[in-house]
Homo-oligomer: A and B are copies of this chain.
Amino acid sequence: MQRIDGRKNDMLRNLTFTRNYIMHPEGSVLIEMGNTKVICTATIEENIPMFKKNSGEGWLTAEYSMLPRATATRNQRDISKLRNNPRSVEIQRLIGRALRASIDLKLLGERTIMLDCDVIQADGGTRTASISGAFVALYDACQKLVSNNVIKKSPITNFVSAISVGTYHGEAILDLCYEEDFKAGVDMNVVMTDKGEFVEIQGTGEHSTFDRKLLNEMLTLAEIGNHEIIRKQKEVLGI
């Protein structure tokens, strides 16, 4: 099978991280994964949601949104519909869970980290790019807390990255662009740590069901992809 852009089944698209892309936030990154571009920022806030009050722990949460013309046709803004886009709700919950797996909330202390992932150009894989990019912004924001003597030790415990895998004409492929994603039989997003363990697996048979064999092939590709992404995260962070 020939992939749309000529990649082999186990190849990622071009991946770049531009650190400190925006000047105001405590951490900020532009992640580009092929034509998918997401601005990820990390904000430290010295307050805590009600359910964490007096817990001695901090909190980390995320918001995900797309600019109206990140896509081929224009999407109305959420505020025009007075309603969070349901797909965005699902995605920002995933981003929050994924990144909470990378930090120790006790070490963070009673403060909140808000990760904003704003897609400025979409070509498939925006949710996994958001996770991989947000990790870098988060890492920098945590470093700033340490260098400003707010906390002694960075709360980062793991690297976390994410990648999409799927099936196309019956074969497992890595890092689907929009056109592949649109036609994929199965679509799976896999979040992993630098220890090679899973944080979250979400696989959906959009157009066909799948068995354990196909699942295992996709997970193997996801391991390859996440390993490479974490290598690049470390490279850009100079670790």
Q: Please, which residues of chain B bring their CB within 8 A of the CB of A204?
A: 97, 199-200
27 contacts between A and B (CB under 8 A): A22-B67, A22-B121, A23-B35, A41-B67, A45-B74, A67-B116, A77-B78, A78-B79, A79-B79, A79-B82, A82-B82, A86-B89, A97-B206, A101-B209, A158-B209, A196-B211, A197-B211, A198-B203, A198-B209, A198-B210, A198-B211, A199-B209, A200-B202, A200-B203, A200-B204, A201-B203, A202-B203
Interchain CA distance A25-B66 in the complex, whole Å: 14
Interchain CA distance A171-B140 in the complex, whole Å: 37
B215 touches A197 (CB 8 A): no
Number of copies: 6
B201 touches A215 (CB 8 A): yes
User: Chain A 194-225 against B: per-residue CB contact (8 Å), 1 yes, 0 no?
Assistant: 01111111111110011110010001000000
Decide if A114 is an interface residue (CB 8 Å cutoff). Answer: yes
Decide if A169 is an interface residue (CB 8 Å cutoff). Answer: no
Smallest CB separation, A212 vs chain B (Å): 7
Smallest CB separation, A27 vs chain B (Å): 10
A201 touches B198 (CB 8 A): no
B215 touches A195 (CB 8 A): no
Interchain CA distance A158-B209 in the complex, whole Å: 11
Q: Please, which residues of chain B bring their CB within 8 A of the CB of A209?
A: 101, 158, 193, 195, 197-199
**Lowest 7 A-B CB distances belong to which pairs?**
A197-B209, A78-B79, A25-B69, A41-B69, A89-B89, A43-B74, A201-B203
| Interface of chain A residues 174 through 205 with chain B (CB within 8 A) | 188, 193, 195-205
User: Chain A 17-51 against B: per-residue CB contact (8 Å), 1 yes, 0 no?
Assistant: 00000111100100000010001010101000000
Smallest CB separation, A67 vs chain B (Å): 5
Smallest CB separation, A173 vs chain B (Å): 18
User: Chain A 67-85 against B: per-residue CB contact (8 Å), 1 yes, 0 no?
Assistant: 1111110100111001110
Interchain CA distance A203-B198 in the complex, whole Å: 9
Interchain CA distance A209-B190 in the complex, whole Å: 12
Interchain CA distance A69-B117 in the complex, whole Å: 11
Interchain CA distance A204-B35 in the complex, whole Å: 29
B205 touches A202 (CB 8 A): no
A120 touches B212 (CB 8 A): no
